[in-house]
Structure 1
Amino acid sequence: MLNKLILLPVKGLITILPFAITIYFLVWLVSTTEALLSPFLPEDYYFPGLGVVTVILALTAVGILINAYLFNWVILLGERIFARVPVVKTLFGAVQDAVELFEVKPDEDSRKAVSVEMEGGIKLIGFMTSDKVANKLFPDEDKVAVYLPMSYQIGGYTLYLPREKVTPLDIDVETAMRIAVTGGNSIEKDS
């Protein structure tokens, strides 16, 4: 009986913590955006949330402009400049690769959740990335690049595996990432 009473606050904390952290992050993001943009917004027209609306409109404008040749040229020039600065190129490249990993392109067959079979019947969840790297590194072999994230950590391994060792999964990348990163604990909540 005493054990159950002691576990009740822990259960409550475990239940509330994901909500609290998510709400805290959203409040922090909105308030930081507002604080950064409020000096640039006219006071006569300002209302709470205008900074967030401005950021969303600016990102939409960038999304539209990226199709314009001149704007695309400026972005490519910026990428080339960042690629030449020693410390910046590592950070920029890592962020760019991480974003591209989860970029959804309907015409592309890669970038999907897969199962990788290892020796002894062990199966791992991974994400098939671009075939271009595997083809460049191993031109005469039919290999694919698969990123295997580590549970509860930022990091993972990229393996170059024979195509027959990789089986596409019938789940989206977001669900597969939740399962891989949480060590499978998130699937219990979805059932």
Structure 2
Amino acid sequence: MSKKITVLIMQGLLALLPISLTFYFLVWLVTTIESSLTPFIPEEFYYPGLGLFLGLVILFFVGLAVNAYIVKSLIRLGGELLEKIPVVKTIYGAIQDAVNLININKQQKMQSVVSVKINDSIHLIGFVTSHESAKELFNNDNKLGVYIPLSYQIGGYTLYIDKSQLTPLDISVETAMRIALTGGSVSTAPKKDSQHLEPNQKK
């Protein structure tokens, strides 16, 4: 009886945990932005939520600014500087990798989901990241850059693989990333057409 109660408690915890953590993160983010920007607002003009609104306005103008060549160059130089500082470069690299993973679909850095054939019985989920760099590095039109993520952590490998070893998978990038990062513990979402590999490479 006690074992069954424990199982039910764990099931309830696992069911509520994703929602609770997501809600907690959103509350933390909103309150942090609000409290950080409130001191810059004159007291006579302040009302609850104005700090958050000001934060969104600032992010909007930052989003416009990062498209400017000069700002892009400054951000790139700042990143290169951080990557030269011991310890700091590790933290910066981990955060940058996390941002890249979140932003892969918007920036189209990862162009399609593929199955990478290791042998007849082993396949890995990968993401096509580059057509041109493989050609430049290896002078080979038959190779593609493929990112292989590691499960349960931020990181992975970029492999250059012959197209014959790749099979496009008919799922979205987001779904494939969730499957890869959780060790295959999530189910697939509605299918999405594969892209960016030549039709004769589909099997």
Aligned residue for 2:187, secondary structure, equals: helix
CA contact (8 A) 1:110 1:131 kept: no
Offset of residue 184 of structure 1: 1.7
In 1: Cα distance, 2:71 partner to 2:188 partner: 47
Aligned pairs for 1:94-133 within 5 A? 95-96=95-96, 99-100=99-100, 102-105=104-107, 111-133=111-133
Deviations 1:92-120 (A, max 9, x none): 56655654561525xx6952222212213
**Alignment TM-score, normalising by the size of structure 2:** 0.76
Aligned residue for 1:126, secondary structure, equals: strand
- Equivalent residue for 1:77, pick from 74, 77, 86: 74
- Flag the 1:185–1:156 CA change in 2: closer, same or farther, 3 A: same
In 2: Cα distance, 1:184 partner to 1:129 partner: 21
- Flag the 1:27–1:189 CA change in 2: closer, same or farther, 3 A: same
**Alignment TM-score, normalising by the size of structure 1:** 0.80
Corresponding residue of 1:44: 44
Give the residue type in structure 2 aligned to 1:79. Answer: R
CA contact (8 A) 1:83 1:89 kept: no
- Flag the 1:40–1:130 CA change in 2: closer, same or farther, 3 A: farther
Corresponding residue of 1:178: 178
In 2: Cα distance, 1:95 partner to 1:2 partner: 43
In structure 2, stretches of 5+ residues that fail to align are: 191-203
- Flag the 1:89–1:54 CA change in 2: closer, same or farther, 3 A: same
In 2: Cα distance, 1:84 partner to 1:144 partner: 30
In structure 1, stretches of 5+ residues that fail to align are: none
Give the residue type in structure 1 aligned to 2:77. Answer: R
Deviations 1:27-66 (A, max 9, x none): 1111111121111123223233323322222222233344
Equivalent pairs counted in the alignment come to 185
- Flag the 1:77–1:172 CA change in 2: closer, same or farther, 3 A: same
- Flag the 1:139–1:62 CA change in 2: closer, same or farther, 3 A: same
- Flag the 1:189–1:126 CA change in 2: closer, same or farther, 3 A: closer
- Flag the 1:94–1:183 CA change in 2: closer, same or farther, 3 A: closer
Deviations 1:86-145 (A, max 9, x none): 12667656655654561525xx69522222122133221111112233223212352111
Taking only aligned residues, the RMSD between alpha carbons, in angstroms, comes to: 2.8
Give the residue type in structure 1 aligned to 2:18. Answer: P
Give the residue type in structure 2 aligned to 1:182. Answer: T
In 2: Cα distance, 1:57 partner to 1:99 partner: 21
| Comparing 127-136 and 94-103, the one that deviates more | 94-103
- Is 1:24 equivalent to 2:24 in the alignment? yes
